[in-house]
Structure 1
């Protein structure tokens, strides 16, 4: 009778390790898909910015507008400190080939309310819409204190924004930046999962 070499425990370890790796990979994929789904939901709502329903006087912007394009109210009506920080960051990012394009900046109350109604209609409730679009009374866009940037600028700011006081506020909106001057010394504050978790969004 031949003797078996190696213990059952030894032979099971590689299989167990492989199972753990596979489980971790599946979990990571599910988390990534969940985040991507949330980003897609917000993107679908904000694509209304470029359909022509919002005229420039309301804050609508055509593609390709940058933080230096003052002829558009969506840029010109941003808070002075915010636009100053954005332009300083844009100037420093420019040698790296990064352009600070603005998808949405200041918005009129009418435009914000329209986006909110569209979000409620699309996602079925005010609660679902609150994760994506604030009311005109609470929106930092209406007050001129928020900007939604193109992917290149947002990626650059994710690494360098705190030095200018520019911070991503919502985890589900990687393009949404606001000014937090204290971040220059202390770093950006922890992000809210989405706007519904922001105390400023509560009536």
Structure 2
């Protein structure tokens, strides 16, 4: 991923391969956040299965076990990044803005330990975001 990638940079595969509804919600939120002086920088979006596997191998090496690595990195088979359904937003101001306003766009923080990781939950526009999982090991989608 190039540094400084915004949600409006269509040429990057990390954005071009995101779920269209997620990208649209991100762009609406980013447009409104810009009015508050906040820019959304994308640290990670869509990932190829090969890249996800590489990230998992690196996490296992860093954390010393598959169990500990699973708190931070999903397998290619379970990662919402691989399916284009997750985005990692950089910079504290952007994640703070999303934590306060994201539900209005259907954008929710999914994991307590990853304040940068957002996924689309359209029902949250009316209901608010669900309580985040502690980390990915608590997410039933990761239990495949």
Q: Do they fold alike, i.e. is TM over 0.5?
A: yes
Shift of residue 121, structure 1, vs aligned partner = 1.0
Shift of residue 178, structure 1, vs aligned partner = 0.2
In the other structure, the counterpart of 1:87 is: 27
In the other structure, the counterpart of 1:103 is: 43
In the other structure, the counterpart of 1:187 is: 128
More helix by share: 1
Moved more, 125-134 or 150-159: 150-159
Bigger RCO of structures 1 and 2 (CA < 8 A, at least 6 apart): 2
Query: C-alpha root-mean-square deviation of aligned residues, in Å?
Result: 0.6
Report the Cα distance in structure 2 between the residues aligned to 1:194 and 1:170, rounded to whole angstroms.
Answer: 5
In the other structure, the counterpart of 1:116 is: 56
Matched residue SS, 1:192: coil
Matched residue SS, 2:111: coil
In the other structure, the counterpart of 2:106 is: 165
In the other structure, the counterpart of 2:82 is: 142
Structure 2, gaps ≥5 residues long: none
Report the Cα distance in structure 2 between the residues aligned to 1:80 and 1:63, rounded to whole angstroms.
Answer: 22
Report the Cα distance in structure 2 between the residues aligned to 1:63 and 1:90, rounded to whole angstroms.
Answer: 17
Shift of residue 95, structure 1, vs aligned partner = 1.3
Report the Cα distance in structure 1 between the residues aligned to 2:6 and 2:96, rounded to whole angstroms.
Answer: 16
Report the Cα distance in structure 2 between the residues aligned to 1:122 and 1:94, rounded to whole angstroms.
Answer: 36
Matched residue SS, 1:66: coil
Report the Cα distance in structure 1 between the residues aligned to 2:43 and 2:64, rounded to whole angstroms.
Answer: 25
Shift of residue 123, structure 1, vs aligned partner = 0.9
More strand by share: 2
Shift of residue 63, structure 1, vs aligned partner = 1.1
Q: TM-score normalised to the size of structure 2?
A: 0.98
Report the Cα distance in structure 1 between the residues aligned to 2:13 and 2:51, rounded to whole angstroms.
Answer: 13
Structure 1, gaps ≥5 residues long: 1-60
- 2:14 pairs with 1:66: no
Report the Cα distance in structure 1 between the residues aligned to 2:127 and 2:115, rounded to whole angstroms.
Answer: 20
Report the Cα distance in structure 1 between the residues aligned to 2:64 and 2:98, rounded to whole angstroms.
Answer: 33
Computing the radius of gyration over CA atoms, which structure comes out larger, 1 or 2?
A: 1
Shift of residue 177, structure 1, vs aligned partner = 0.2
